[in-house]
Chains A and B, each alone.
Chain A
């Protein structure tokens, strides 16, 4: 039995990895085939990521202009809502929403920052600075 190491999927066009698909033809046969995703799948994935990337970019601009705290940027980057983040970080939602204000964020203590950093899987330095 051949056990191959993982092929690396990086910077590929959407839907460029082989999956197993079933199909049904006129003779009443169900067939399996391994292949790439079809057009609709690629279009919708592209659509989703366009929206996500737009949101991430908008959040970055907002943070740079000083209108929001870096938490907003990292939230968009990891595709979470305040509700999800509250589960990840263990901080209740209205506090998270309050921490989105830069003024409040700058006063946060180490302990809270660490909770956020762990939830986003980054260091505290990275959390404070959005590149």
Chain B
């Protein structure tokens, strides 16, 4: 058999966020220049939700990003690109065969995977986190070449390992989900896509009638944060506080819970369509992101000295309220913008 080695000429570029990075790389593969922030913005990556009743690794769950696969799906929908998403495969072998068929046709294929058994990931990051994304672009013998945009270089992973991570279990189990682009129209209507995407993001951050989502969610988290030391003791409170930092800084976010990437998206669109309002919004977003980063620096002190907090939790909570108000200002501004 001559088909031992397949290698698609796919350009791996490192990115801050796994899914928007994969999406922007896929666009580039089909000859459309699209930066990561652009893919992130059009795909509605930005989000906030706080789910205290769900525990992730012994601490309340919160998310700074949207649900898995939203970035790819929405950017394809808004731009009107012909793409395929297969949500799940019942048969694990069939899912691998489908991947092989795609590679033989020369289609780089994205997949949702779990991080815990991902062999090339640094061990300390291997927690049960099922919203990671890879793009497979080659096969050599039993190994696959995958582009994980969080890593600097393309990686190799054996077939068995890939199958295991594609069928990781738990919250948001990937179930072998895969996605790819079929064909792309060269002149995409980016303007209307951006308009729709911003509208949707504003809706999700401000107008969803549920108190734990969006700006309201940040306020709720701030309220809870104040109560943690009394309710759970200093140790646990600092561990929970650490969870906020881990979610906003550690897991491939590009910093400050994706706020920087979204700011960069607003700036890029502002320059593209020559819109001063978008530029102003991007500056506000940048300031909010910087405030997030200050918050993580201050609260990390409490995580260092776990039993004796250096910073007052009340102060940190006020800071979060302030951040929520700063973000609200951005979304209110964006709501009125006409591109």
Contact = CB atoms under 8 A, between A and B. Distances in A.
Interface of A: 1, 3-7, 9-10, 12, 14-24, 28, 30, 32, 34, 37-41, 43-45, 47-49, 51-52, 78-81, 84, 87-88, 121
Given A6-B153, A30-B260, A49 B55 contact: no
Contacts of A51: 58, 239
Interface string B44-77: 0000000000010110000000000000000000
A14 B152 contact: no
B254 A47 contact: no
Interface of B: 9, 11-12, 14-16, 37, 55, 57-58, 116-117, 120-125, 127-128, 145, 150-156, 164, 169-170, 173, 238-239, 242-243, 245-246, 249-250, 252, 254-256, 260-261, 263-264, 267, 279, 282-283, 286-287, 289-290, 296-297, 299-300, 303-304, 306
A95 to B, nearest CB: 17
B297 A20 contact: no
A10 B55 CA distance: 28
Nearest to A50: B306
Contacts of A41: 245-246, 249-250
B57 A40 contact: no
B328 to A, nearest CB: 19
A1 B55 contact: no
Contacts of A48: 57, 127, 239, 242, 246
Closest 4 CB pairs of A and B: A40-B300, A24-B286, A22-B260, A30-B264
B283 A28 contact: yes
B280 to A, nearest CB: 10
B242 A28 contact: no
A6 to B, nearest CB: 5
A19 B263 contact: no
A79 B156 CA distance: 25
A48 B123 CA distance: 13
A43 B289 CA distance: 20
Contact of B250 (A45, A87, A88): A45
Given A3-B145, A17-B122, A22-B254, 19 more contacts: A3-B153, A12-B122, A20-B150, A21-B16, A21-B254, A22-B264, A28-B283, A30-B37, A34-B14, A40-B296, A40-B300, A45-B125, A47-B303, A48-B239, A48-B242, A80-B170, A84-B170, A88-B170, A121-B117
Contacts of A12: 122
Query: Which of B9, B16, B164 gathers most chain A CB within 10 Å?
Result: B16
Contacts of A49: 124
B153 A21 contact: no
Contacts of A80: 128, 170
Contacts of B290: 24
Contacts of A6: 120, 151, 153, 155-156
A68 B300 CA distance: 35
A43 B238 CA distance: 11
22 contacts: A3-B145, A4-B154, A9-B122, A9-B123, A16-B122, A23-B255, A24-B260, A24-B287, A28-B279, A28-B283, A30-B282, A34-B14, A34-B152, A43-B304, A44-B242, A44-B249, A44-B303, A48-B57, A48-B246, A80-B170, A88-B169, A121-B164
